[in-house]
């Protein structure tokens, strides 16, 4: 249980009494949301060039970066911040002959 308390108190600013009065299900939801938020924003402030430079030494960084970008895009669409990009097939652009 202590491993649950530390991030809730540190990252979310919850007091021990708030944690104890909150149901376990709600606490797990808060921790899941916190983890997801950390994943989405772990590369904030980095440009594509920065990622390219870092991935020369550690290739797995590029994969993590693109997973974070996909996750961010997914949740931006879910909350309505961006509109889902529609893919139009080439035949639709050229028309039928």
Per-residue pLDDT tens digits for 29-87: 998 999 999 999 999 999 999 999 999 999 999 999 999 999 998 988 888 887 777 77
In a domain, 53, yes or no: yes
Domain assignment present for 34:
yes
Q: What is the number of structural domains in the chain? A: 1
- Residue at 3 is within a domain: no
- CB–CB of 40/71 below 8 Å? yes
pLDDT for 12 equals: 87
Cα gap 92→88, rounded to integer Å: 6
Residue 1 lies in a domain: no
Q: How many CB atoms lie within 10 A of CB 17?
A: 8
Q: Is residue 21 part of a domain?
A: yes
Is residue 77 included in any domain, yes or no? Answer: yes
For 20, the domain range is 14-82
> Could you tell me if residue 59 is inside a domain?
yes
CA distance 97 to 75: 39
Distances (CA, A) of 18 to 9, 11, 32: 9, 14, 18
Question: What pLDDT score does 96 carry?
Answer: 56
Q: Indicate whether 64 belongs to any domain.
A: yes
């Amino acid at each position: 249980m202590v491993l649950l308390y530390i991030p809730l108190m540190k990252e979310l600013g919850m007091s021990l009494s708030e944690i104890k009065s909150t149901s376990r299900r709600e606490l797990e939801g808060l921790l899941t949301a916190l983890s997801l938020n950390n994943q989405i924003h772990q590369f904030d402030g980095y440009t594509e060039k920065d990622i390219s430079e870092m991935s020369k030494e550690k290739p797995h960084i590029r994969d993590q970066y693109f997973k974070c970008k996909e996750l961010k895009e997914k949740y931006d669409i879910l909350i309505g911040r961006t509109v889902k990009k529609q893919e139009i097939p080439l035949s639709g652009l050229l028309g039928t002959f």
